[in-house]
Structure formats: C-alpha cells, structure tokens
Chain A
C-alpha cells in the first residue's frame, strides 16, 4: 500500500471540493467524505492485492493529475470529434470531465426518458440519483471506486422507464484534452421493467498523458434488456481506470462489448450480479502494441437459479505489450441450474509480448453447468502456409489471420455506424500493409 500519493491528492481535495456537483446534498457530501477517507487510508491499489497482481499502477504516482473544475479551455477540434461521434445516436459529450451542451446532441428524446449529465441529474432528480449512486459499485471493492466517488465532476445519467424501447443508441463521448489532466466521471444507467436501451461509452483523448477514472453503474430491471458498448481508445500516453458494475433483476438481459485499444495502462472492471434466469453476455477485445498494458477484470455473480452467462475475451498483443485477463465466475449456493461459459483467447504477435490469463470458477451450488477455457498462442503456421499456397504472401497471410481473429469480436456489434468505427480503430492499430477489409 502506498498512501503517499493518496495524501497528495487528498491534500488538494479541499481546493476543488466546492466546485464538485451536488454540494448542497447532504447524502452526497457524506458519501464523498467517506470515500475520501477510504481512499486516503488505502492509496492506489498495489500488486500485492490479488486482483491487481499483474498490474502495477505506480506509474500514475509519478505525476499529480489535476482535475479541471469547469469547461473553460476545453476546445475540441470539430473534425477530430466527428471521427468518434456517432451520427445515428443521442450523444452526450464530456470534455475533461464536464458536460458540453454545445457538442452534445440530445434533441428528439422521448419525453419519458431522461438522458442528461450527472450534474443536471443531481440538480433535477437528486432522490433518484441517491437511490442508485453506489448501489452497484461497492466502494470497498477497490480504491479506484472510492477515488471516483470522491472526485467525480460529472457523468451520464440515463433513465428509461418501464416498457419503453429506445430506437436509437445513446453515446457517451468522453474526451480528455488537457495535459496531465484528470477526468473523473460517474455514470448511471437505469432501465426499468421491460425497457430496452443501448448505450455506447467512447473514451478518447488528445495525444497527452492524462488520467481517466470512470465508473458506470447499470441497473437492468425485470425482463429489461441493456447493451453496453465500451470503446476505450485513449491516447497512448494515458491512464484509464474504468469500471462497469451491473445489477440485473429477474429475467433481465445484459450484454457488454468491451473494446480496449488505447492507453499506456488501461484497466477495466466489469462486475455483473445476476438474478433468477438473468442472461449476461460479456465480450471483450483488447489490442496491445508497443508498451501498452491492458488489463480486464470480469466478475459474474450467479446469485439465483437458472441464470446464463457467456463470456469471450480475445486479446492480440504485439511488440512489448502485455494483456491481463482475470475472469471470475461465482455461483452462489442457491444458484442451481446455472449455465456459464467463459473463454479467453490470446494471440501473441511478438516474442516480447505477454498475456496473463486467470479464469476462476467458484462454485458453491451442485447442479450447474460451468465451463471455461483459455489459450495463449501464436499464429498457426499451418494456416499461414495454407494461405500462401493460395497465392497470399506471408505478411498478408499473417495480417489476415490476425484480423480474422480480432474481427470475430467486431462482428458482434449490432450498430452499423459503431461497427465501422471500431473496425477502423482495429485497422489503424495494425498498420501493416496489404490488409483489405474485404478479406474479413
């Protein structure tokens, strides 16, 4: 445990506290105070903690990232923004942790639906926020959650009422432009009974060192359906700590697609609690080049009988990049008839790349079907030769096989415009010549 850096952040806290949203809400002040104490006592996570053993975050301790208190100085290049903003979605833009009304597109929302910034929600619907904030993300889980609770400046708030099916997705576009900046955001997504929603979180930044801390809490009501996409494409000098914490009610369906492409060091936690006959699908694709360190942690809690979980994470690691996958599936004693399958596949493109994979099944019920599989390997030489024997040169063959491996996850995206943007990112991250989209 290293609390020295934590104390430095804590010492700065009073200078920004009064600018944080929700200052007039006693419950939030209390919650933030509690979080600050928890964070100060613990510091950032250390590799001695089991859940952090492959990921050393001490890099962030060399700097003191500064939160910005408002939107000033947050000019964003319009063309650059275009390459990330989806045309066919409602878009809420956060710049350096603050809502930009000017860049956001929220008109035409059905009246009954709330899509607003977290600061707005705290002003307009504080009781609802109080009910949900911290209800899925447990502050004691790890100190980044406490950090996020104490420091968050804004975020996305979505509430879809019962039986309402949103016909367009909602995009949260999270941009960091400042050097040595810190953007700490908190999001809440609520889909009431039988509601359906698709939300896309896009994390990007200008080519700088900065810190993103983002926590998203998702509440999927009874028989409701939520798909959450996360496209993490931060600058290659950035630190990203993100968590998605999901509570599924009875018969609720939740699908997550986690594209982890950017950041010098990026960590995502995805925790889902499943109720009776809930269905949960977690998909992930991480691409690491140069010295990137990309860590994904998933936890699926089967709390009640008949729930189904499916998980597939794939990683492609080149140069000296390191990918970490820790996936836990916990089947409670009551969760009979659980059906769970977890897979992690890693493709190493260089001798210096590394993949650490650790699937964990903890099963306390006796009548369940649970499986898992992991692979770490190189491109198959037989496949390369087969393609060569069909006129494809070796380099193109390698690229084709790499793309085909990654593309399985891209192909699962059901929103066309997002699919194309993610595919563009995949292609951009493997700059070898000769890859044709048509191959895929």
Chain B
C-alpha cells in the first residue's frame, strides 16, 4: 500500500524528518507515536501533499506509484485521506456539498458515474448516525463555528463517506472527551477492512485502547526510533517519551 524509504524533509533550511522508513500493507493499522514537535504532522502533511516542505532525500510509493509526484487532490482521489489535526474552517462552503463534490470526483477518477442524489443522502445520513452527529452539521459551512470535538468528528464523517484506501489520522484523539473518543473509534473500527490501511498519529496511548494497532512506531526528532507491536505503546505509556529520546541519544 505505502512504502516510505529514507524520507528526509526540510522546511526552509531546517531538517524536520531525518530518514523515515515505513512499510504499510493493505489492512494494517500502524500507530505513530511521539512527543510534540517530533515531526508527526510533518509526515502526515508531506504524505498528503501540502506545500511548503522540501523532500531532500528518499521516496514514498503508494500503490506502486510515486506519491510525492502527485498533486494533493490526485492523492485524495487515489484513496489517500488525511484527517487533520487542526481541521480548517471554510466559511460559505457547505459541508454536504463538499462531501458530494469530493465523492463525485473520486468516482469520476475511477470512471464511475456521479452518485445518485437519493443514494448519497441515504449514505450521508447513515454515517451521520454512526458518528452520532446532528444532521444540521451537514448544512453548515465546513467546520465553521464547530467545537474542537465536532471538527474531529466531521473529519471522520468525511472519511466514512469517502471510503479511502489509506487513512492518515493526525491526532484525531486529541481534544476528544472519552465519550466522543468511543464514538470516533467505533466509526474508525467500522471502516476496518482487509483492503484498507490506517496510520494513526497520536500523542496518547489511550486511543489504542479503542483501536487496536498492528504496529506501533515511535517517532522522535524526525526519526522512527523504535517499532514494535501494541505492547510498545504500553511500555511507552509507562516509561514516558524521555525513555525513547534518551535511548536515541545513547545510540
């Protein structure tokens, strides 16, 4: 699905990612954990094509194609979805129209006809219920005036409707109370399938109680310093991030 090799990324002259290696196969869930400022969002952004970053070395291959060569919207149409750490407010563009436009451009990209209006509404309403959102949110401007938790839920709503192949979730759990976290996790779990992969970027182990990862990677100072199974998250929780950072310094 996704193969990242020796990825180095700078902002201006400042190196931020310093040689990331990561292999993600279809159906796998990878958690990337790390202290604030370690480069988690940078990795998410570079994979989804945000401008302002320079790849100085390395590669990222997605479904056999050079991911870094693709425009952000092409990546999205090819099934890569980023749930933002800080979703952006878009005044004047309604949530439901953005959803419909996004879904239709994916369908067009795949040579399918536009979605039928009734089918679309049924689908959207089903997902709105799944995430226990108020239908009113559909007709409001994208994220405008939403609370932090509502914005995060809205990201997962979009993800549930667009049915991406690779879901990158950047700190979706941050700022969610436990009830909201459970709802969001159920939403994510309902999307799990052998064809779909997840990269869950998180600062807290708590999320992993609800969404069981296959692999856990620890990112520190722009590098993956440790990889393991779910037990690594627990160990990290116990010993704190200073443990891996010290390890790295020693190495």
Which A residues lie within 8 Å of B81 (CB)? 389
Whether B101 and A391, one on each chain, are in contact in the complex, defined by CB atoms closer than 8 angstroms, is: yes
Chain B residue with the shortest CB-CB distance to A382: B88
In the bound complex, CA of A189 to CA of B102 (Å): 48
Assembly CA distance A325 to B84 (angstroms): 37
Contact A405 B98 (CB under 8 A): no
Q: Which residues on A sit within 8 Å (CB–CB) of B98?
A: 387, 390, 392
Contact A404 B51 (CB under 8 A): no
Q: A386-B84, A400-B93, A401-B90 are contacts. A391–B48 as well, Cβ < 8 Å?
A: no
B105 on the interface (CB 8 Å rule)? yes
Bitwise, B16-54 to A at CB < 8 A (1) or not (0) is: 000000000000000000000000000000001111000
- A385 nearest in chain B by CB position: B50
The listed residue with most B CB atoms (<10 A of its CB), out of A385, A390, A440, is A390
Interface size class of A (residues with CB under 8 A): 20 to 34
Nearest B residue (CB) for A404 = B92
Residues of chain A contacted by B162 (CB below 8 angstroms):
390-391
State in angstroms the CA–CA spacing of A385 and B82 once bound together: 11
Known: A383-B90, A438-B97, A440-B92. A393 touches B76 (CB 8 A): no
The yes or no answer to B58 lying at the interface (CB within 8 A) is: no
Beta-carbon contacts under 8 Å, A401-426 to B: 401, 403-405, 407-408
* B72 A389 Cβ-Cβ under 8 A: yes
Question: Is the contact region of chain A dominated by helix, strand, or loop, or is it mixed?
Answer: helix
A101 to chain B, nearest CB (A): 42
Measured between C-beta atoms, what is the minimum distance from B206 to chain A in Å? 26
Q: Is A104 an interface residue (CB 8 A)?
A: no
B77 touches A391 (CB 8 A): yes
A 422-440 binary contact with B (CB < 8 Å = 1; else 0): 0000000000000010111
CB–CB B92/A383 < 8 A: no
Chain B residues contacting A438 (CB-CB under 8 Å) are 97, 100-101
B145 contacts the other chain (CB 8 A):
no
A122 CA to B91 CA, complexed, in Å:
49
**CB interface residues, A 342-398, toward B, < 8 Å:** 380-383, 385-394
B158 within 8 A of A: yes
Residues of A within 8 A of B84 (CB): 386, 389
Question: Is B73 interfacial (CB 8 A cutoff)?
Answer: yes
Which chain A positions have C-beta within 8 A of B88? 380, 382-383, 385-386
In the assembled complex, the Cα of A383 lies from the Cα of B87 at a distance in Å of: 9
Residues A408 and B92 in contact, CB atoms below 8 Å apart: yes
B97 to chain A, nearest CB (A): 6
Residue interface bits B44-86, CB-to-A below 8 A is 1, else 0: 0000111100000000000000000001110011000110100
- Which residues of A line the B interface, CB within 8 A? 380-383, 385-394, 400-401, 403-405, 407-408, 436, 438-440
| Interfacial residues, chain B to chain A (CB-CB below 8 A) | 48-51, 71-73, 76-77, 81-82, 84, 87-94, 97-98, 100-102, 105-106, 109, 141-142, 158, 162
- Can you list 15 residue pairs at the A/B interface with Cβ under 8 Å? A382-B88, A387-B98, A388-B73, A389-B48, A389-B50, A389-B76, A390-B101, A391-B109, A391-B162, A392-B101, A401-B92, A405-B91, A436-B101, A438-B97, A440-B97
